[in-house]
A and B are shown apart, each in its own frame.
Chain A
Amino acid sequence: MSRLRRLLPVVATVAGLTALFMFGLLRGSPDRDIPSNFLGRAVPDFDLPVLERYMAEFGPRMTLDDVRGRPLVINFWASWCGPCYEEAPHLQRAFERFGDEVLFIGIQTQDRDGRAAGRAFVDRFGLTFPNLFDADSRTSIAYGLFGVPETFFVHADGTLQHKFAGPVTTTILEEQIGALRR
């Protein structure tokens, strides 16, 4: 009995520390989950060259003004980014389903390997939505990118509904596009 009583402070201390750290874990990392500055506001304009594959349909350059009036899914990616390879098939599938109502735009960014790597990427996944090339990463800076991939869900009036950091999945795309259509 006395042994158990002696154990109590040990257990209490460790339990206290553990509870504190559990709180720290559940609270999420303060550095990462920063909501985008553009939430509910208009996303910045861009004016970027279109990757060769899409030039016939969309012309040599594309700006935000060209596509205003439709809900947008803007996805930033790079040819060296592993998770971007994970999400590309999900994006293509979602585009095939919702492409009539929602326009998808891919933006290759932060990528020194350039257009050749970009072409290989879009060909590999047979991406049929337009992909642009952000050669000097200026657009990614304007959008406040933390890393790639990041996906922006934009209302028809150009205001941001949601930003998702990391590889998107079909579930997330369905959920957010559903909200965009409403």
Chain B
Amino acid sequence: MLSLGVLGSAALTLALALAVYAAVAGAVGTIRRDARLQTSARLSAIAVFLAATTAIIVMQAALLTDDFTVKYVAEHSRIESPTWVKVVTLWAALEGSVLLWAWLLTAYAAVLAVTAPNTILRPWALVVMQVVAIFFLSVVTFAANPFIVLANPPLDGPGANPLLQNHWMMAVHPVLMYLGFVGLTVPFAFAMAALITRRPGTEWMRLTRRWTLLGWGFLTAAIISGGWWSYEVLGWGGYWAWDPVENVSIMPWFTATAFLHSIQVQERRRMLKAWNLLLIVLTFSLTLLGTFLIRSGVVSSVHAFGDGPVGPFFLTFFAIVSVISIGLVVWRWDQVRDRADLDAVVSREGAFIGVNVLFLAMAFAVLLGTVFPIFVEATSGARVTVGAPFFDAITLPVWMLVLLLMGVGPLLPWRRAETQTLRSNLLVMTAALVLFVVVALAFGMRRPYPLLTVGLAGWNLASVGLLLAGAIVPRARITGRSLGEVFTRYAFEQKRRVGSMVVHLGVIVIAIGIAGAGGYRVDQQLRLDYGERVAFQGYELQALRPFAEQSAGRASVGVEVAVWQGDRQVTVLTPRINRFGTNQMTVPTPSVRYTIGHDLYLALAGAVDPTQDFVIIRAVQSPLVTWIWIGGAIIALGTAYALTPGDRPLRRRVTADVPAGAEA
């Protein structure tokens, strides 16, 4: 009988074989200049995608029909789980995640094969994409095959990891992460193609600009949604803990962010060729390294994703990719060496280089902190952990410098800044900084980092204002149109530029949220006797009654807590503890009252015992924390806006009717 497991394995094997063919045919066809072979390779990229899609469909069919002869379903699904949980179970564990990753990769490769312009880079870029796809497909076929058929299938399974079933965000966060990682594979593939074909100019990055931005946008969204998930599920009232899993997601983000900025220097000034190549190589290597670190169990993490058999695979691939790609950069050194020099440090490119150094420093520090425990254990045998204080102490000052540069950079012209304009701009921004700090002091802020962050928010807001004014006021004056009209046209014509302003605005909003939530969080354990009101940070909390709920696959116990402000009952919060299926693990689920000023966050700190007349609650008040999520949404919007087609080509901007200095 043809079972789903056999079908899935067959689809995977076919996808792998086709990917091998696509890579070999592509490489041979390019070397021999055989156009027919190249076309064949391109078409097979689509076939690879179709085969991988079949595997995904088969897996979904197995999950939705509770086919426990398929190992992955037997180990991670459960009949009584709701349908949405079954669907997302595809990426709730290792094998399915790698399958999803492989599938997204083949999808991107197929899209590239169809849409990438026919340049000398395309064949090699497609080959590189397929080589990466071969790696992921082999892992999912040989090392972590989810389709293995069980001779003795169980009648029901244990269900997905409770932590992942507990929040709808888990349906979104991993997919965003993989979309980000896979998106950044595209510029990597083109960078490799540029090195192979000895054309390390700007072509590869112009071709992949949108892909880079898309990958970066998804990665950013993934990290922020992961923070939100952690906030809503883990019950400690925080969103970022410098856990290894978080660290390995932020490392490629640092290098990708640096890359996003420094490619502009190469586009405009033909500088930093080697630097940009190294950055994208580093970004790609770090995603592999990160996957290795969290999937192999080498570093202990609270996220405990489990150690699968894939560790050695990812480690080997990381080593090979790093040596070959960095080796290629070194090999082509004569072509990638910069010929131009920096004209002046105080210039747009100077600022870009500065911010690059800062991001890279943070990536290095985080890597060091993450790897340090293994290093110590290898050399001395001692077990150490590197915790949040290290990462905070190292990255906070660097973040301040990043915020500082973020305000100055966009206002600086390319090549060399005119001292007069710069001075008056800096004066305005400093005034805004001082003003914001004074206001924050008046509100009672005393800690240095939050104060500085608020000040720098003012500095950056002034910078955005100056940028817009510099672009719009002179145009309005010349054309005689109203400011609003000119702004609309500007926003429509300069999508990349306006998009980047919006993203920077989102960064400021997040910084303010972190300053409030990180600096002024109040966290208390409270004993609530049923019926009695207990004061907490201007609220009164009143435990009303315990409750228990049963729904498909989930059992909850919790407490209803009335929240009073004076004589007004503002809301009833229901912190609870969930248990899923037969899993012994209980998941505390906090209940949050979101407001613009601060969040009130209640989590159960102990069991709910119906025979007791009190309950222990962890109450957290985090000021401004909502702004982190709002800022994330702003960044996503800004990125999406910069990605919308219809931006005017770069060249025309230089000759546009804008007075010098105004737009720069």
- Residues in chain A within 8 A of chain B (CB atoms): 3, 6-7, 10-11, 14-15, 17-18, 20-25, 27, 29-32, 78-82, 84-86, 88-89, 110-113, 117, 120-121, 124-125, 137
Inter-chain contact B150/A85, CB cutoff 8 Å = yes
Q: List 30 A-B contacts (CB under 8 A).
A: A3-B330, A10-B326, A10-B330, A11-B327, A14-B319, A14-B323, A20-B378, A21-B292, A23-B374, A23-B377, A24-B296, A24-B299, A24-B378, A25-B311, A27-B377, A29-B297, A29-B307, A80-B154, A80-B159, A81-B154, A82-B68, A82-B74, A82-B75, A85-B150, A86-B151, A110-B582, A111-B582, A117-B156, A120-B155, A124-B152
A31: which of B157, B297, B311, B581 is its contact (CB, 8 Å)?
B297
B158: which of A32, A80, A86 is its contact (CB, 8 Å)?
A80
Inter-chain contact B150/A25, CB cutoff 8 Å = no
User: Number of B residues contacting the other chain (C-beta, 8 Å)?
Assistant: 46
User: CB-CB < 8 A to A110: which residues of B?
Assistant: 582, 584
Inter-chain contact A20/B371, CB cutoff 8 Å = yes
Inter-chain contact B582/A80, CB cutoff 8 Å = yes
User: CB-CB < 8 A to A79: which residues of B?
Assistant: 154-156
Residues 369-413 of chain B, each 1 if its beta carbon lies under 8 Å from chain A, else 0: 001001101100001000000000000000000000000000000
A31 to B298, CA, bound (A): 10
User: CB-CB < 8 A to A88: which residues of B?
Assistant: 152
Inter-chain contact A3/B333, CB cutoff 8 Å = yes
Inter-chain contact B330/A137, CB cutoff 8 Å = no
Q: Given contacts A3-B333, A14-B323, A86-B150, is CB(A24)–CB(B155) below 8 Å?
A: no
The 5 closest A-B pairs by CB, nearest first: A24-B298, A29-B297, A85-B152, A82-B74, A14-B322
Inter-chain contact B333/A6, CB cutoff 8 Å = yes
Interface presence of B71 (CB below 8 A): yes
A23 to B376, CA, bound (A): 11
Residue of B nearest to A18 (CB): B319
A113 to B156, CA, bound (A): 9
A14 to B68, CA, bound (A): 42
Per the 8 Å Cβ criterion, residues 285-304 of B in contact with A are 289, 292-293, 296-300, 304
Inter-chain contact B319/A24, CB cutoff 8 Å = no
Residue of A nearest to B374 (CB): A24
Inter-chain contact A23/B378, CB cutoff 8 Å = yes
User: CB-CB < 8 A to A17: which residues of B?
Assistant: 289, 319, 371
Interface presence of B153 (CB below 8 A): yes
A126 to B278, CA, bound (A): 62
Total of A-B residue pairs, C-beta within 8 Å: 112
Per the 8 Å Cβ criterion, residues 313-350 of B in contact with A are 315, 318-319, 322-323, 326-327, 330-331, 333
A7 to B329, CA, bound (A): 9
User: CB-CB < 8 A to B71: which residues of A?
Assistant: 82
Residue of A nearest to B325 (CB): A10
B323: which of A10, A21, A89, A125 is its contact (CB, 8 Å)?
A10
Inter-chain contact B326/A78, CB cutoff 8 Å = no
Interface presence of B576 (CB below 8 A): no
User: CB-CB < 8 A to A3: which residues of B?
Assistant: 330-331, 333
B152: which of A21, A23, A25, A89 is its contact (CB, 8 Å)?
A89
A81 to B78, CA, bound (A): 11
User: CB-CB < 8 A to B322: which residues of A?
Assistant: 10, 14
Residues 70-113 of chain B, each 1 if its beta carbon lies under 8 Å from chain A, else 0: 01001100100000000000000000000000000000000000
Give me 10 other A-B pairs in contact (C-beta within 8 A), A27-B377, A125-B152 excluded.
A3-B330, A6-B330, A10-B322, A10-B323, A79-B154, A80-B154, A82-B157, A85-B150, A110-B582, A111-B582
Q: Which of B75, B298, B331, B377 has the most CB of A within 10 A?
A: B298
Residue of B nearest to A120 (CB): B155
Per the 8 Å Cβ criterion, residues 52-70 of B in contact with A are 68
User: CB-CB < 8 A to A24: which residues of B?
Assistant: 296, 298-299, 374, 377-378
User: CB-CB < 8 A to A20: which residues of B?
Assistant: 371, 374-375, 378
Inter-chain contact B315/A22, CB cutoff 8 Å = yes
A29 to B78, CA, bound (A): 28
Residue of A nearest to B329 (CB): A10
Q: Which of A25, A80, A89, A112 has the most CB of B within 10 A?
A: A80
A20 to B372, CA, bound (A): 10
A81 to B77, CA, bound (A): 11
Inter-chain contact B298/A80, CB cutoff 8 Å = no
Q: Given contacts A3-B333, A6-B330, A25-B311, is CB(A82)–CB(B296) below 8 Å?
A: no
Residue of A nearest to B299 (CB): A24
Nearest-CB distance from A134 to chain B (Å)?
12
Per the 8 Å Cβ criterion, residues 18-59 of B in contact with A are none
Inter-chain contact B318/A18, CB cutoff 8 Å = yes
